[in-house]
């Protein structure tokens, strides 16, 4: 039995036990104790559900580091959740919220850190991934201090709010900077540095305002943030390698992002930081709302394109389009046939052949592996064997992608 199947069975067993424990809370006098057992079993089942995809990644050399990182990240989250569930049983009910808050904050920051690690492994995105990883780590540290400063009665509510504000400001500015640095090794795009500078400026102004309790209109802070967001989104869309219709959607989305930036800039400057304005009656505000909605829809379409294009096989290039017939031996009657690409029939027994030809491409960097004699991609070093589709569904081509 494989590890994945064992984990799946364990998860199903834990869910069943959690259901029994939940029912027991109705009929057993010690409802508090049984409820904690049920929550523990549910937490264990969710942990195993997260560990399942991580365990499957351990089977391949390319994905093994990410799988190990995911498994390592799951353990502290599970321990924090256990503490949040059981610490109240010992009379420390106030601490339940501290551990629960720490667990939730850790899960969010750990998820962002894992995404940053995956990004850093992509060609040309090492710096972008490191920036995101650093901002996630700082965000967790700031939130951790805010939570446990309250638990230890250190400082006051205002200081804790400042820690929270600083942590999330650094996190989101780090995400914007990473978007501006996306594809740094592939495309020059010197205008990306305008977004990096604007995001750093917004971070500096935001931190200064948070810790000095400034009440002035945040007009220039917002404007710097708008510049960073617009440049970051446009840089990502410009870096992604789309063709045909998908490229037009990406360009249209970039146009709507820039339109949103223009409307937001106008409102920000004319209302001095969006203060004292009646946005329901402002026509520009309505244009901003409409352009933002279209931009979000365009970004969702981009995500769908990325999922659809993943590992798409190239079946229409010049290297293989001249191949129309393939000499094969029928596996049923051993008749030698010249089978047509697509559908054809055995001349001996009538067995139907469905043939599709595709260029071998690296699973990681899309490098063309045709006529390659080495067992590794010369561009990124990924083993060639990993680029072979493992299931029949992965042989479906995307001719018009």
Question: CA–CA distance from 64 to each of 41, 53, 54, 70 (Å)?
Answer: 28, 11, 9, 10
Q: How many residues does the chain have?
A: 401
Q: What is the pLDDT of residue 141?
A: 94
> CB within 8 A of 171, min separation 6: which ones?
109, 112, 135, 136, 138, 139
**What are the helix and strand counts (H, E) for the chain?**
10, 4
Of residues 4, 6, 73, 84, the one with CA closest to residue 42: 84
Residues of the chain with pLDDT under 70: 1-12, 14-15, 17-31, 56, 58-63, 155, 276-279, 309-322, 363-366, 379-380, 386-401
Q: What is the pLDDT of residue 29?
A: 59
Q: What is the pLDDT of residue 338?
A: 84
Q: Which residues of 132-158 are buried (b: 16+ CB within 10 A; e: fewer)?
A: bbbbbbbbbebbbbbbeebeeeeeeee
Q: What is the pLDDT of residue 390?
A: 45
Q: What is the pLDDT of residue 44?
A: 82
- Please name every residue paired with 376 in a beta bridge, in sequence order, or none if there are none: 383
Q: What is the pLDDT of residue 18?
A: 64
DSSP state of 190: T
Q: What is the pLDDT of residue 166?
A: 94
Q: Cα–Cα distance between 227 and 258 in angstroms, integer?
A: 10
């Amino acid at each position: 039995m494989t590890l994945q199947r064992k984990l799946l069975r364990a998860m199903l067993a834990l869910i069943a036990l959690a259901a029994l424990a939940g029912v027991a809370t109705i009929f057993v006098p010690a409802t508090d104790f049984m409820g904690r057992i049920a929550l523990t079993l549910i937490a264990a089942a969710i942990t195993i559900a997260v560990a399942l995809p991580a365990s499957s990644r351990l089977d391949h050399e390319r994905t093994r580091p990410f799988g190990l990182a995911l498994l390592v990240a799951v353990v502290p989250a599970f321990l924090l959740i256990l503490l949040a569930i059981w610490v109240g049983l010992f009379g420390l009910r106030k601490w339940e919220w501290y551990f629960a808050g720490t667990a939730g904050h850790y899960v969010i920051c750990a998820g962002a850190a894992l995404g940053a690690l995956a990004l850093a492994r992509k060609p040309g995105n090492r710096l972008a991934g490191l920036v995101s990883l650093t901002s996630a780590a700082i965000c967790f540290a700031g939130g951790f201090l805010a939570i446990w400063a309250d638990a230890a009665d250190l400082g006051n509510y205002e200081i804790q709010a400042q820690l929270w504000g600083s942590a999330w400001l650094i996190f989101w500015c780090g995400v914007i900077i990473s978007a501006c640095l996306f594809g740094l090794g592939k495309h020059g795009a010197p205008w990306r540095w305008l977004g990096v500078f604007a995001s750093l400026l917004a971070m500096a102004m935001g931190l200064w305002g948070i810790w000095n309790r400034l009440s002035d209109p945040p007009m220039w802070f917002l404007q710097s943030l708008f510049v960073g967001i617009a440049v970051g989104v446009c840089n990502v869309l410009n870096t992604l390698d789309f063709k045909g219709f998908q490229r037009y959607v990406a360009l249209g989305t970039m146009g709507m992002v820039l339109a949103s930036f223009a409307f937001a800039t106008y409102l920000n400057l004319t209302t001095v930081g969006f203060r004292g304005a009646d946005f329901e009656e402002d026509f520009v505000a309505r244009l901003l709302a409409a352009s933002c909605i279209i931009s979000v829809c365009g970004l969702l379409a981009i995500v769908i394109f990325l999922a659809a294009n993943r590992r798409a096989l190239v079946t229409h290039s010049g290297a293989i389009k001249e191949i129309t017939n393939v000499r094969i031996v029928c596996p049923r009657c051993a008749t030698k046939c010249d089978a047509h690409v697509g559908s054809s029939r055995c001349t001996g027994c009538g067995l139907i052949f469905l043939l599709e030809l595709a260029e071998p491409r690296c699973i990681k960097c899309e490098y063309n592996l045709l006529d390659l004699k080495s067992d590794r991609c010369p561009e990124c070093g990924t083993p060639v064997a990993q680029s072979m589709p493992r299931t029949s569904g992965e042989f479906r081509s995307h001719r018009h992608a």
